[in-house]
Structure 1
Amino acid sequence: MSTPTTVRDTAATIGEFFTRFGAGDRAGALELFSPDADFLVAGAEDFVPWAGLRSTVAAFDEFLRIAIEDVTTERFDITKILVDGEDGVVLGEFAHRIHRTDRVFRSRFALHFTVRDGLIVRYHMFEDSHRAELAWR
């Protein structure tokens, strides 16, 4: 007889991602991604190092490294989480201080997750890419 397993649902996986990410647990956050996740942060990828399409675990890890090590989050407020089956949308606002320039980047954001079998298979982040570019330059 096999041992039953528990798979996190969409809301629990999103919550766990923010818990691990917020604690600076890069390895723990990375564990939540499917190896073939559809990972996109819309924006000016030539100027904003976390922006762009990523398609490998190493590339996801580099995004997390940048977000945890190259930036200090001064404010991060989630205003709403909407879940419909495998899909979750998170709305909020943040302020990040970019270490290289010492500029603060403030933006509203929308983050679209898709979770399947307890793993994130889609992570699409939308933020004010113009302000992000200005903060990184």
Structure 2
Amino acid sequence: MSDAVRETLDRYYAALKAGDRAALRGVVSDEIEVHYPAPEGLLPWAGDWAGFDGFEKFVATVGDHLVIDTVEPLAVHVAGDTVITVLKGEWTVKETARTVRTETVNLFTLRDGKIVRYQVFTDTAALGIGLGKLAAA
């Protein structure tokens, strides 16, 4: 991974963790697109979010429902302007106090040192169970 890509991701994750809006603006494009697929109505933050305002609403919606307990990077793959990160994480659902453990893939598209597209692929069933919207088997 190039130093520029590593720096962009490090800045993004640090700003996200700190809730630093100015730092996020420095690393996220004004035209960012967020795509978080899930069955309709399952996850409040699922769907498509556009622009920096949409990105902020997405982040706020996730934060309204989840506490990030731990995130461990497992792998990072870079192909041109695309970066794929594989993460293992643990989240606490605020409403139910349930712990959710998942592996998640984040797919970033970078342009001129900024994130222009952010896609998340995760275990939506585990999150749905954590939110109390699905029954555990």
Q: TM-score range by the shorter chain?
A: 0.7 to 0.9
Deviates more, 1:110-119 or 1:46-55: 46-55
Report the equivalent of 2:113. 118
Q: In structure 2, do the counterparts of structure 1 residues 54 and 81 end up closer, same or farther at CA, with 3 Å as the change threshold?
A: same
| Amino acid corresponding to residue 76 of structure 1 in structure 2 | V
Deviates more, 1:119-128 or 1:67-76: 67-76
Query: Normalising to structure 1: TM-score of the pair?
Result: 0.83
**Is residue 2:99 matched to residue 1:104?**
yes
Deviates more, 1:105-114 or 1:19-28: 19-28
| Structure 2: gaps spanning 5 or more residues | 133-137
In terms of fraction of residues, the more helix-rich structure is 2
**Is residue 2:26 matched to residue 1:34?**
no
Aligned residues: CA RMSD: 1.9
2-structure distance, mates of 1:104, 1:60:
25
How many matched pairs? 130
2-structure distance, mates of 1:62, 1:45:
18
**Is residue 2:125 matched to residue 1:130?**
yes
1:68 CA displacement: 3.5
Out of 39, 45, 65, the position equivalent to 1:50 is: 45
| Amino acid corresponding to residue 110 of structure 1 in structure 2 | V
Which secondary structure does the structure 1 equivalent of 2:99 belong to? strand
| Structure 1: gaps spanning 5 or more residues | 1-7
Report the equivalent of 1:21. 16
1-structure distance, mates of 2:95, 2:116:
31
2:33–2:55 CA contact under 8 A, matched in 1: no
1:22 CA displacement: 2.0
| Amino acid corresponding to residue 122 of structure 1 in structure 2 | R
